[in-house]
Amino acid sequence: MNNTEPKTIKIFDTTLRDGEQSPGASMNIEEKLRLAKQLQKLNVDVIEAGFPIASEGDFEAVKKVAQTIKGPEIAGLCRAGFKDIDRAWEALKYAEEKGRIHTFIATSDIHMKYKLQMTPAQVLEAAVKGVKRARSYTGNVEFSCEDAVRTDLKFLAEVVGAVIDAGATVVNIPDTVGYTIPFEYFNIIKYLKDNVKNIDDAVISVHCHNDLGLSVANSIAAVQAGAGQVECTINGIGERAGNCSLEEFVMAIRTRGDILPFKTNVVTEQLTPASRLLTQVTGIAVQQNKAIVGANAFAHEAGIHQHGMLMDKSTYEIMTPESVGLKASALVLGKHSGRHAFKKRLEELGHELDEDALNKAFTRFKALADLKKEVYDEDLDTIVADQTKKIDEKYKLSHITVTCGSFAVATATVQMEIDGMQVRTAELGDGPVDATLKAIKKLAKRDAQLLQYNVGSITGGTDALGEVTVRITEGERNPVVGRGSSTDIIEASAKAYIDALNRLYFATDRDVESL
Rg (CA), the chain: 25
DSSP H helical segments within 196-330, as ranges? 215-225, 246-255, 271-282, 303-311
Which residues are 449's β-sheet partners? Answer: 473
Q: What's the start-to-end Cα distance of the chain, in Å?
A: 40
Q: Are 393 and 402 spatial neighbours (Cβ–Cβ below 8 Å)? A: no
Inter-CA distances, 139 with 49, 62, 331, 507, Å: 19, 19, 51, 34
Identify the three-state secondary structure at position 49.
Answer: strand
- Is 209 annotated as contributing to ligand binding? yes
Residue 336 is labelled as binding a ligand: no
Nearest in space to 42 (alpha carbons), one of 391, 382, 276: 276
Q: Are 41 and 69 in contact (CB under 8 A)?
A: no
Q: How far apart are CA 190 and CA 145, in angstroms?
A: 16
3-state helix, strand, coil in the chain (%, to 5): 45, 20, 35
Cα distances (Å, whole numbers) of residue 335 to 22, 104, 241 = 39, 55, 42
* Residue 152 assigned ligand-binding role: no
Is 2 annotated among the ligand-binding residues?
A: no
CA neighbours closer than 13 Å in the CB half-sphere of residue 390: 10
**Beta strands 170-172 and 203-207: pairing type?**
parallel
State the Cα–Cα distance between residues 361 and 328, nearest whole angstrom.
23
How far apart (Å, rounded) are the C-alpha atoms in residues 346 and 194?
A: 51
Binding residues for Mn(2+): 18, 207, 209, 243
Binding residues: 18, 207, 209, 243
